[in-house]
Amino acid sequence: MKELSLYIHVPFCKSKCNYCNFYSIPLTKLKKTYNSNLAELYPGFLIKEIGINTEKYHLENASINTIYFGGGTPSVMTVDFFKSLMEFIGKNFKIAADAEITAEVNPESCDLEKLYCLKALGFNRLSIGVQSFDGGVLKTAGRIHNKNDIYRTVSNAKKAGFANISLDLIIGLPGQTKEIFLDDINNITDIAPQHISAYMLSIEEGSLFYKIHNDKNHFPVNKPPEFIGEEKIADYYIILCEILNGQFYEHYEISNFAKNGYRSRHNINYWNRGKYLGLGPSASSFFKLEDGKEIRKTNIPDLERYIRNISKDNYNYEEKNCPIKKRNSIRNKNGGDFVEILTENDKINEEIFLSLRTSSGINEKRLRELAGAEIIDKLIKEGLMENFKGNISLTLKGMLLSSEIFARIMI
Ligand code: SF4
């Protein structure tokens, strides 16, 4: 039986956050732009896409180990949305008895009733988008929830029976002074979730923050946000790691911390290069085919064009050889909708940088063979990597500089 993870992208949000460049459409814009209610029709397109991929990649007998509804904001969807998809997946695949089934929810769009329904449908893990507890920081970030919404959602989640809760935090949002950040950590550790994801803010192209960063006049209100420098963000990250370590969270990946037994199995599958099917605009999939080929497929980040593609009778992706190093430029040219056949070098590079994201790292002998002994010795000498029980992993300093390290060791 082939093991598979499923990712379902929900490309809708109540409103757009100022730091976000994920593919999502604010619901108000959706209603203004399209006549029909696309959010209601959306599960039909996802179901069609499952059918197309099942046939093309022979997924009929797959056993689903993890399912992840991410976005966007899955919690803006109705219970019927989750019900129709879970029923379809249950009828067409074998869902493992101990499958990890996660929904991302935002504090302003998830009430107790919806949480009870999710639990009844088989969801057993929630990832709640907290980001900060400070009203001013949340407002500048364009978030539309407040501290009380967070506490209410966590309490409702527990009431509904969720015993595996992850909270998302952003490190270095504008206005997040050290005091505010320490307060954010205190509030999170008081809640004591089973899992914490903490991402260092980066100003991504396509976000409002990116525009403001390059042109201060772009901010819609009088006072533009004050961005926090990289050095300070690095200090915050180290503080967070030390505090969470003291609270017995395992720092098992650059941005992820878990109590014993609560690592995200869905994400571990990504880092282990396990197979997954991603559905919806902008979602990625990874398959290992019987002929030894490995394929990474990325859906177009555009709802209308995604629907057009899915609705075609002869829907087919163009398959190309595309070295990872060129992936982004080729993706842009093609509008993001293509399948790459990984080269041997791609496979090696992926193995190296995905393993090195994790605290267990990669077998030292294998890494030296793949990347060359000289560069590894250099990175160890620079204090960016360390050797533990025959495995090489990144030090805390290395985790902060992971992108530079990956660029240096990519073959
Ligand atoms: S951060 Fe999340 S809630 Fe905010 S716009 Fe992006 S996807 Fe939507």
Q: Which domains does the chain have, with CATH numbers?
A: 3-270 (3.80.30.20), 281-342 (no CATH), 348-409 (no CATH)
Non-local (6+) Cβ contacts of 341 within 8 A are 293, 294, 295, 319, 320, 321, 322
Cα distances from 87 to residues 31, 83, 149, 293, 350, in angstroms, run 27, 6, 30, 31, 34
Ligand 1 center to residue 295 CA distance, Å?
28
Average pLDDT over residues 212-231: 79
Predicted pLDDT of residue 337: 60
Contact of 391 with 367, CB cutoff 8 Å: no
Which residue owns the Cα nearest ligand 1 atom 4? 17
Average pLDDT over residues 18-35: 87
Predicted pLDDT of residue 381: 97
Give 28's pLDDT tier (boundaries 50, 70, 90): confident
Give 35's pLDDT tier (boundaries 50, 70, 90): low
13 lines ligand 1 (CB under 6 A): yes
Burial pattern 151-189, b for ≥16 Cβ within 10 A else e, equals ebbbebbeebebebbbbbbbbbbbbbeeeebeebbebbe
Predicted pLDDT of residue 203: 93
Ligand 1 center to residue 14 CA distance, Å?
8
Is residue 234's pLDDT more than 60? yes
Predicted pLDDT of residue 11: 97
Which has the closest alpha carbon to 375: 361, 392, 360, 391? 392
Residues forming a β-bridge with 394: 385
Ligand 1 center to residue 32 CA distance, Å?
19
Average pLDDT over the chain reads 91
Ligand 1 center to residue 15 CA distance, Å?
8
Ligand 1 center to residue 22 CA distance, Å?
7
Beta strand 165-171 pairing with 63-71? unpaired
Peptide bond into 172 cis (omega under 30): no
- Pocket probe mutation, ligand 1, options 9, 14, 17, max atoms within 8 Å of Cβ: 17
Task: Specify the range with the lowest mean pLDDT, choosing from 48-62, 173-187, 204-218.
Answer: 204-218
- Pocket probe mutation, ligand 1, options 10, 14, 16, max atoms within 8 Å of Cβ: 16
Q: For ligand 1, what atom is nearest to the CA of residue 131?
A: 1
Q: Give the C-alpha separation, 35 to 269, whole Å.
A: 39
